[in-house]
Structure 1
Amino acid sequence: MTVLNTGTHIVVGVDGSDTSLGAAKWAAAVAGKLGRTLQLVYSTTHPVRVLGVGDPTLDQQLTESLTEDGARILSTAVDEIRQAAPDAHLTTLLGDEAPAATLLDAAQDASLIVVGATGRGSVERWLLGSTASRVVGRAHCPVVVWRGDPADPAPDTRPIVVGVDGSPASAVAIESAFEFATLTGAPITAVRAWSDEFRVDAVTPDAVPIAGPAAMLVDWDAVARGEAAKLSEFVAPYRQRFPEVTVEEVSARGSVSRELLRALDDAQLAIVGTRGRGRFAGALLGSTSQNLLHRAERPVMICRGGDTDPS
C-alpha cells in the first residue's frame, strides 16, 4: 500500500507565527508535488469556553474579534504562499473548537498533517498540554512537526532519515520515506540502532536480553553483522519497488535517538513510526519520537503503526 499517495489533501495549522508560515510553505511545496489541495487551518476556541464570559454582548464582541483575527491570519498565510507557489490549490478553514479537534476533523481524508514546532503553539507546550500529542496520537495519516528556516522552507535534495526497527510502524515510516524521496529526488539514510535494548534474536531465534557478565561473552562483531543484515532485509522490498532511490544503510550500536539525530545533521527530514492511535501521550514519554520532537533542528514526520505490506 501507499502512504503519502492516499487522501485528498494536506492539512496545515497556522497561528500567525513565522514558523507556522514556514510550515505552511513547506506543506504547499509537498502538496504541489503530490498534486493535492492544501487546506490552511486556524482555530480559536469560543470565548465562553475559554474565559467563562456570561454577558451576551461581550461574548459577541469577543467572538467577532477572534474571528476577524483568525480570518486575517489565514488571509496573510494565503498571500504569502501565493507568492512562493502561485499555482497552489488552497482552501482555508476557520474553526472555533480546540486546535487539535479542528485539525483532526479537517484531516479525515488527508494525506498529511503539518504543524509548526515553535511560535504560539510550540511543540514543547503541545506535548505537555496537548495539541501535537493529540494530533499525532489520533491522526489517521502521518503528521509532520515542522522546524526549520522560515525563509527557506521548501523540501530539497538532502537525505531523508528513517528509523528502522522491523515493527509495523517502522514499515509505514519506511514506505513514507521512499515516497518522499521519490517526490524530491533525495536519497535515504536508513538507521537501525540496537544496543540499548539488545536482544539475541539478531543471531539466534530466541529473544533473550543480554546484560552483565554475559555480555562479555557475546561475539559483538557477529551481532553487528546480524543487525546490519536485518536492516538490509527490512529495506530490501522498498529498494525493489523504488529502484531510483539511493539508500545508505546505517546500523550502529548506540542510542536510537542519538544515531537518528546524528544522521539528521546533514539531512532535511526525519521519519519515524510510533504505536497506534489513542495512547500516544503515554507511549511517547521518554521515547525516540519525543527526543526527536524536542531536539531535532529539522522537520520530523511521525507515522502511526499499521499493516503495511511492502510487496
Structure 2
Amino acid sequence: MQILCATDFSLAAMAAADVAAALAKKLQISLRLVHVVQDYIVMGDLPVVVPDENHFREQLKKEAARLRDTGIPVAEELRHGSASFEVVDAAAEKPTRLIVLGSLGKGMAERWLIGSVAERVAEEAAVPTLVVRQGELLLEWMKGESALRLLCGVDFTASADAAIGALKTFVPLGKVEVEAVYVRPPEDPISGPELQDVRRRDVWERLHAILGDLPMNVHVQDEDGRPAADFLRTADEQRAALVVVGTHQRHGWQRLKAPSFSRSVLAHAVTNVLCVPASAVETEGRIPPIRRVLLATDFTETCGHALRHACSLLPAGGAIHLVHVCHEPTRGINPVIASEVYFDHSLATAEDKRKAVEKFQSLAATFPQAPGVVITSEVLANSDFSAAICEAAERKGADVICMGTKGHSRAGAALLGSTVQAVLARAHKPVFVVTPPLV
C-alpha cells in the first residue's frame, strides 16, 4: 500500500508533498512521488520548443531526496501525457490508499495543478483524493500540536457513507473533532424546526454505525438553493481544517441533471478537502443501516401488502417514499406529423397523474401509520419505468428499493416482471421484491 503524491515542484506542490510524507510516516506506508511531463505534438513544419526532460528528472530526484529525509521510503516516477489522466492511471497501477495534490501549483509546468486538474483527478480516481490548501494545519495536527477539526457532509447516500468511512483513516493518527453537516433539501419529508431533532438523530446513527463510539456534533441546515455554499459557510464557522465530501463521480448528462456538490466544494473551499468516491466505501463486516425506503407501487391489491413489508424494514423509524410512474409519450415523437396522437397521449398522462395523486391521498387515509415512519408520495411520468424508479431512489437517497409483483390493473403494466428485472439490472441499491400473499 502507498500514498501517491503528484508534484510540479511549486511551493503549493511542495506543501502537499510534506503532508503526504507525514501521512505516510504516520500510516507506516511508502510514498510514491510522480511528476508528469506534457507530451508535445508537432503540427506540420511548425517549430516547437521541447523542454529538457533531464531537468525535470533532476528536480524530481531532488524533491524525493528531501522527502526521504523525513524517514520514509520514497519512490520517484516521471511520466508523460495528460497530468490528470496519468495521476489516475498511476494510482490504479499499484495499491494506493490516498492521492495527495496541491491546488494552486504554478511552478515550471504552469497551471499543472490548478483546480481543473485536481478536480479531474478527484472525479476519476477510484481512491480518495486529498487536495491540500492549508498544509500547515494538517502538519500541526500530525505533530500533536493541535486537534484536527473534521467537517463531513452527510446526505444518506453511498457517497456520503464513503466519506464517513474515510474518516477512519484520520481518527487513529491524532486528536480529532468530528462535525457532520446535513443540508436538508426542500423535498425532505422531515421539515420544520420541531422535527430537526429527528433528522439529527438519523445522521448521528449513520455516523455511529460507521465510526463507532466517537464524540461528534451534527448540524442540520435548510438548503437555500446553494447546498455547497451552505456547507462551506458551516466549514468557515467551525474553522474546519479538513472538509470531507463524497462524490458520485457523475459525468456528461448525469452531471447536467444533478450538479456536482463535491466539485463545487472543491472549487470554492479555502481549506483542505478530501474527496471520496462512492466506490471506496467499505462494506465488509458492517451491517448497512436502512433509514429510507423507496416503494414503487401500481395501486393494485398488493400495494398495502408491499407497504407493510416496507414498514417492516424500518423497525426503528425512518422514511418511506411512495412512487407511481405514469406512462409518458415518447419524447422522440414528431409533433408535426403526429400532433393529434401526441396531444391525446399527453392528456391521458395528465389524467393518469391526477388519478394517482387521489389514490395516494386515499391510501394515506386508510393505511395505519407505523410509529416513527414518515410516508411521502410522488407521481412521475416517464416512458422508461425502471429508469424513473432508479433515478427517484438516487435522488431521495433511498437505502432500499421495494417493489411488488403481479399487478392486475391496467396501470399494473408498470410493475410487471419485466420492469422488476430492469430495475434489478440497473439499480445501484438493494431491491426488495414483495410477492403476493398466499390466499
**Interval containing the TM-score (normalised by the shorter chain):** 0.7 to 0.9
Once structures 1 and 2 are overlaid, which stretch shifts more, 167-176 or 281-290?
A: 281-290
| Counterpart position of 1:89 | 73
Displacement of 1:104: 1.6
Cα deviation 1:192-217 (Å, max 9, x = unaligned): 111xx222433xxxxxxxxxxxxxxx
Matched, 1:13 2:6: yes
Distance 1:295 1:123 in 2: 18
Whichever structure has more strand as a proportion of its residues is 2
Letter paired with 2:118 = A
| Counterpart position of 1:112 | 98
Q: How does 1:96-175 map to 2 (within 5 A)?
A: 96-108=80-92, 109-120=95-106, 125-127=114-116, 131-149=117-135, 154=139, 156=141, 157-175=147-165
Distance 1:124 1:62 in 2: 20
Distance 1:284 1:53 in 2: 42
Structure index of larger Rg: 2
**Cα 1:35/1:280, change in 2 over 3 Å:** farther
8 Å Cα contact 2:179-2:216 kept in structure 1 = yes
Cα deviation 1:82-133 (Å, max 9, x = unaligned): 44x2x11111110112112221222012111111110236599542xxx333
Query: Could you say what secondary structure the match of 1:140 adopts?
Result: coil
Query: Could you say what secondary structure the match of 2:264 adopts?
Result: helix
Q: 1:264 aligns with which of 203, 227, 235?
A: 235
| Counterpart position of 1:5 | none
| Counterpart position of 1:179 | 169
Letter paired with 1:220 = G
8 Å Cα contact 1:138-1:278 kept in structure 2 = no
Gaps of 5+ in 2: 142-146, 288-439
8 Å Cα contact 1:29-1:155 kept in structure 2 = no
Matched, 1:300 2:273: yes
Q: 1:201 aligns with which of 181, 189, 194?
A: 189
| Counterpart position of 2:205 | 233
| Counterpart position of 2:379 | none
TM-score by length of 2: 0.55
Distance 2:195 2:119 in 1: 36
Gaps of 5+ in 1: 1-7, 203-218
Q: 2:178 aligns with which of 188, 194, 205?
A: 188
Q: 1:46 aligns with which of 30, 39, 57?
A: 39
The number of residue pairs the alignment matches comes to: 270
| Counterpart position of 1:30 | 23
**Cα 1:53/1:80, change in 2 over 3 Å:** farther
**Cα 1:263/1:20, change in 2 over 3 Å:** same
| Counterpart position of 1:210 | none
Displacement of 1:304: 0.8
8 Å Cα contact 2:8-2:112 kept in structure 1 = no
**Cα 1:278/1:294, change in 2 over 3 Å:** closer
Cα deviation 1:234-259 (Å, max 9, x = unaligned): 1121242xx3x321211222453234
**Cα 1:70/1:153, change in 2 over 3 Å:** farther
Distance 2:101 2:43 in 1: 28
8 Å Cα contact 1:189-1:263 kept in structure 2 = no
Distance 2:179 2:254 in 1: 28
TM-score by length of 1: 0.76
Query: Could you say what secondary structure the match of 1:119 adopts?
Result: coil
8 Å Cα contact 2:228-2:261 kept in structure 1 = yes
8 Å Cα contact 1:12-1:27 kept in structure 2 = yes
| Counterpart position of 1:224 | 196
Once structures 1 and 2 are overlaid, which stretch shifts more, 115-124 or 139-148?
A: 115-124
**Cα 1:123/1:69, change in 2 over 3 Å:** closer
Letter paired with 1:235 = L
Distance 1:29 1:273 in 2: 24
Distance 1:187 1:26 in 2: 19
8 Å Cα contact 2:5-2:33 kept in structure 1 = yes
